[in-house]
Amino acid sequence: MKKFCTYCLVALLAMLCLPTNLAAQGWNYDFEMAKADGIGDRPNHYDVLLNGISWSMYAVRRSGSSSDFANGKVSARIYGSRMSMKEMPYLVMKEDKVGGLGVIEFSYRAYEEHATSQVAWCVQVSEDEGEHWETLGQPFTPTMDVERFHAKANVETGRVRIVRADYAVFDYAAAKGFDAAFNLDDISITDYEAGAPERPSIQTGEDRLNFGQVAKGETKTIKLSVAYKNLSADVALSLTGEDAKFFSLSKDKFAVSEPNGNAEVDVTFAPQAAGPQQAVLQLQSGETIAEVQLTGTGIRKAGDFTYSGGSGTQEDPYLISNSGDIEDLSLAVDTETDYDGKYFKLTNDVDMEAVKAMKPIGNNFGAEGTALKAFSGTFDGDNHTISNLTMRFSGRFNLGVGLFGIVKNAKISNLTLTNCYFEADAIVASVASVLVGSEIINCHAGENVTVKARLKPYAGGIATSSFLTPSSIVACTSRANVDASDVAIGGILGMSSASGTTISRCINYGNVNTRNNFAGGIVGYVESGRLNIVDCLNAGEISAASCAGGLLGMALQGASIDIRNTYNIGRVTATDPAGALGPIFPAAALTDGLTLDVQNCYYDEALFSGVSSGTGCALSEMRSQAFADKLNAGRSEIVWKRFVGVNNELPVPCGEGEVIDGLMQQALAASYIQIEAGQIKTAAGVRLLGVCDVAGRQYAPASKLAAGTYIVTFMPVQGAQKPMSVKIIVPVR
């Protein structure tokens, strides 16, 4: 008995000698018991008890595939987003941890199937039962490397949560799929250390400042209070995010003279565009960081269209810098003004992906009898690009679709569209649909542009139709795929009925297809009046049921067509066995009363045989300066040029690049021919066919040539199918 009492006394003394703070023990969880503890195999909401502490979690499940990381057999998989989200994804303590919070650690890695779509997460602590949360350490973004989060909280009373770093602004209700998942394992939280140095912290009165709705051109200021503890360096303030330019701060730092203190900063929101905008205010002292999410919505006052600057004069045009400005322009023309005599200038490339259901700028949408609303101003794209615009309308009261719907006495210039989709029952184009006495200059339907008229006419790669008074389309190109179910579609213009309309210096590269009636590479159909097609090129494939033309599809009796200095290298197809087709204009479509004047027009002879209004040429002949000279036809202004890498170095009537001049021609021919003492020397296998000067005088291939410029035609190698023609320069000896 005495021996037993002695043992008890020793044990009691040993226990009394243990420290009262069991920091080394703390709390940990390795998820091996996740199933037994109630974490399911679907990313749902779970309220569970994990090793004695109550936790709540959402969009979390236990691991279950080879794509998961686990230090053992099981870990947690947390999704950044999921289908039908009802709340923010999180893992949060529902109670304060007994013993307080010391060092927080866990291992994490990206879920392999979502390795490239990860988002940032943060660990936060609360000392007031979850009323306010403070970010601990740095936010982290999982990768395929296993990493260990480590940060020291050292708070006597508190709880922990893990949440998306953008929790204040993340629109979880808009999430569309299961994505951005990562695995978490081996959580450990030591106890509070009473004697340890206090953790530096920056606490803000709010973790989100919502400015609500603020009119464009006006401002709203909110004062943010800040409390800091245990700091030894000044607090730097900065704004980040795409919309940071719409927010400003009254100061860029707090001077820290004492470790603990309070400060204030004024945050101002000054929207320059309509729609929601957000940014992040970051406060940093050394490695201590706090963030505040800033949100606000720019609105437009009724009747107030301020855009991003300018007064609308020629010297001070309205500035269009974002999608909100373009939406405002559409709304203004739809409801209030045609901007006759006003000027606009695009200042940036603009992405329209977030814009839904914007009406064309100028339209006659609405029931029969609705007043026509046209744009009558001057819009200069300043060589910028508008991308990702989708316009999809249906119904007979939603016709005339394009970026600009109806333009009257307007001018649109220097603009490119890419990755855009335009669709309606009828009357559809890319840049502008209906032209009335207007100019379209240097505008381009670029890559991945689709124009589709589902049921009725008309469709065009650049514009749909020219009505009432003549319009002009100059130096425009289209790579759009133009598709229609009915008559009259064209690579540049669908239909013309305004006498005097001119299409000049334009190129169509896109495919043009209608399952009915007429299609043309430049213009689909002329209903009446005079149309001029001058200095144009079609390189796209043209297909129609009854009438298909490389440059013009069809014209009615009484129309007058002038086609000059053009060529076609696109394949032309009439799908109806009785249909008419032609590389310039379908000869079988000529009717009494139709005047057609075709001068200096050419086509690729390999793509057509038969009666044609034009001259067939070998493609190799077209790829020469001599052919460009033919198209220029002795004019003082050089319209047709060849550029390195453009249109396979065939001549084009517009565009920019490195011009293939005489010296460039000589460089291209260097591998085949050389000039030595005025005589042409050829490489093995090359056969000279002819030599002439620019005036057309012929020379024997063996002649000794005087200084000057010559056109040399030759077969480049034995067995070649087509000859080549190049310009050479014989230098002065």
**430 Cβ neighbours under 8 A, 6+ residues apart:** 402, 403, 417, 420, 422, 445, 449, 451, 460, 461, 462, 478, 480
Contact between residue 193 and residue 88 where contact means Cβ atoms under 8 Å apart: no
pLDDT digits (tens, 9 = 90+) for 275-332: 788 999 999 998 888 889 999 998 877 767 778 889 999 999 999 999 989 998 999 9
Distance CA 414, CA 320 (A): 14
pLDDT at residue 667, rounded to an integer: 52
In sequence order, the β-bridge partners of residue 563 are 533, 598
Task: Report CA 632 to chain centroid distance, whole Å.
Answer: 37
Report residues of the chain scoring pLDDT below 50.
Answer: 1-24, 662-664
pLDDT at residue 63, rounded to an integer: 95
Contact between residue 523 and residue 551 where contact means Cβ atoms under 8 Å apart: yes
pLDDT at residue 246, rounded to an integer: 92
pLDDT at residue 196, rounded to an integer: 76
How many other CB atoms sit within 10 Å of the CB of residue 392?
13
pLDDT at residue 10, rounded to an integer: 40
pLDDT at residue 2, rounded to an integer: 41
Rounded to 5 degrees, φ, ψ at 46 are: -135, 135
Of the candidates 458, 517, 451, which has an alpha carbon nearest to the alpha carbon of residue 481?
451
For the record, the structure tokens of 105 come out as 């650690």
Helix ranges (DSSP H) in 111-258: none
Start-to-end Cα distance in the chain: 129
Distance CA 685, CA 35 (A): 80
List, as own/partner pairs, every contact residues 277-280 make where C-beta atoms lie below 8 angstroms and the sequence separation is at least 24, other chains included: 277/243, 277/246, 278/169, 278/241, 278/243, 279/239, 279/240, 279/241, 279/242, 279/243, 279/244, 279/246, 279/247, 280/239, 280/240, 280/241, 280/244
Residue type present at position 626: A
Indicate the pTM of the whole model: 0.60
In 709-718, which positions are buried (b, 16+ CB within 10 angstroms) versus exposed (e)?
ebbbbbbbee
Q: What domains can you pick out in the chain, each with its CATH number? A: 27-190 (2.60.120.260), 201-299 (2.60.40.10), 318-641 (2.160.20.110), 661-730 (no CATH)
pLDDT at residue 696, rounded to an integer: 66
